[in-house]
Amino acid sequence: MSEKEDKKQLLHMVFGGELESLKGIEFRDLNDLDIVGIFPDYASARVAWKAKAQSTVDNAHMRYFIVHMHRLLDPEND
């Protein structure tokens, strides 16, 4: 097997936005969500997430998340 065949594609999406409250995960404005991107693995998604989270550290209501898209696309084989 080649290295590419060996390595399973595990897509992750990074997105964020301003929250209504620090006690929940309701976004203030869904039209204003920041879709950072879709990444081929968790490691690269984490790098992007960390950069965006650190760039908005002055706004306590701003939160970024990593979504494990591969779990949504193929939940039985996770």
Q: List, in order of start, the domains of the chain with CATH numbers.
A: 3-77 (3.30.70.2400)
pLDDT band of residue 4 (cuts 50, 70, 90) is low
**Residue 5, pLDDT score:** 52
**Has residue 8 got a pLDDT over 50?**
yes
**Inter-residue contact 60 to 22 (CB < 8 Å):** yes
pLDDT digits (tens, 9 = 90+) for 22-73: 999 999 999 999 999 999 999 999 999 999 999 999 999 999 999 999 888 8
**Has residue 1 got a pLDDT over 70?**
no
Q: Return the ∠ at Cα 69 (arms to 19 and 76), rounded to 5°.
A: 130
pTM: 0.83
